[in-house]
Structure 1
Amino acid sequence: MTLVEFEEILTGPQENDFTALCGVLAEDGKPADRETIWRYLQSVYVKDYSPENLRELVHIIYEQLFVGNPEGIVRQLSGYLDDNLPQVAHRVGDP
């Protein structure tokens, strides 16, 4: 599929989202053009995990990154994110 074909199948909201994405992505510190961003999107691979498989994958990764019980680490990080994500998201969106 080419960029032109991709853009032809976008709905209004999807076109707006793609245009917004094009406005924030950069390559070598310069705004990236639509063709470059289209190539980036083509390289994205999305895999669907069941909740159980995802939980196992998270535990394996956390065991490699942290010392301690993975379940406890997940609870701690979840609690931290629940408490702080709104403030962090607000700061990221600030000019």
Structure 2
Amino acid sequence: MQFEWDPHNLRHVIEDHPERKNTVEEVESVFDDPNLVIKTGTRLGGEQRFNAVDTGNSQIINVVVFTVDKRLIRPISCWPANKQTIRYYHENIKGK
């Protein structure tokens, strides 16, 4: 998988929320797990957004909002999943 990091989104994901302890490697690692759950998110300004829910290298269940453009994944935001999302993840992971 290839990723494209827009400078604004990079700042938003990594720097604007230091309490989330996001890194580029952590966000990208969410997409490496075979249990990845993807939900269709909102459409903003003609751009379809998706929510990836999975554990990254940290083993914390995260939500990554992203778009896909020319086969490139563009992360927009990332945060730790809340209880409702964690339950959704466990109900929908592959191989359960």
Larger RCO, structures 1/2 (Cα 8 Å, 6+ apart): 2
Task: Please report the TM-score for the alignment, with normalisation by the length of structure 1.
Answer: 0.27
Task: Please report the TM-score for the alignment, with normalisation by the length of structure 2.
Answer: 0.26
* Bigger helix fraction: 1
Larger radius of gyration: 1
* Bigger strand fraction: 2
